[in-house]
Amino acid sequence: MSGLKIAICVKRDLHGLAVVRQLLPMLGDAQIRIFCSVKTRPDEERDPDLQLFKALERDFPLDVLAPLSSAFTPPAAAPQDWTPLPNLLPNDGGAVLADYAPDVILSIRFSLIFKPWLIERARLGIINIHPGPLPAYRGLYTPFWQILNREQTLGCTVHRVDEGIDTGPILGYGRLPRDPARSLFWHITQIYLSGLPIVAAQVDHLRNGGSLGGERQPAQGGDYYKFPTREDFGRFRAQEGQLVTARDYADILSMAYSDRPVR
């Protein structure tokens, strides 16, 4: 995919690293730079389950393991070489991203909102993977809510970013059969992975002179979800089982720190 200058915007966490490791080989020889959001929401510090997820997603794999791994393939995958973005303000993090002047931005598990001025700076547009089917599952922590709502097929939406939140034209849906033997943690990564072939196909389309289209979402309908409460986590355990297991955590670690393909 020669000739395209791509900015990948991802969350600095284990799921983000696992997804990046699988995405980069799909992008050929495009010029790539990885930017990462480092924002921590107050809820993550107040709730014990969210504290646990923060430790498993960021503190241990990115602060402890990543510096110990010196042979990332390709080298751009190394988290220590990602450019941190504390915000997307025009005189701060947003300027850093804009100065790179990407042709296209790929937003995957990125926790910052693109403002109109920054959307305009991406010549070919911004492609986002939202970890839930739109418009039904807008908002936060949507893999959790899909499972708690007993959806048997989970999914993500690949869409073009517009000035709204989770409202842009839809480019495709990733689908994933729910595996009752697997935890929420495992499903989070897998939901994002289900959208990567769609992202790669859209990038290939842009490389060949195409443009981002997409199917417009309805103006009304759908729900907007927030971070789960303590009671929501209790209902999840009682109804659906495990938030994370040792087996699933080891599986995602292996994906992030080895070169094995997705299975």
What confidence tens digit (pLDDT) does each residue in 170-210 have?
999 999 999 999 999 999 999 999 999 999 999 999 999 99
Domains of the chain (ranges; CATH) run 5-257 (3.40.50.12230)
213-219: long-range pairs with CB below 8 Å, 24+: 213/169, 213/171, 214/159, 214/160, 214/168, 214/169, 214/170, 214/171, 215/169, 215/170, 216/169, 216/170, 217/134, 217/135, 217/159, 217/167, 217/168, 217/169, 217/170, 218/135
What confidence tens digit (pLDDT) does each residue in 52-63 have?
999 999 999 999
Q: What is the pLDDT of residue 167?
A: 92
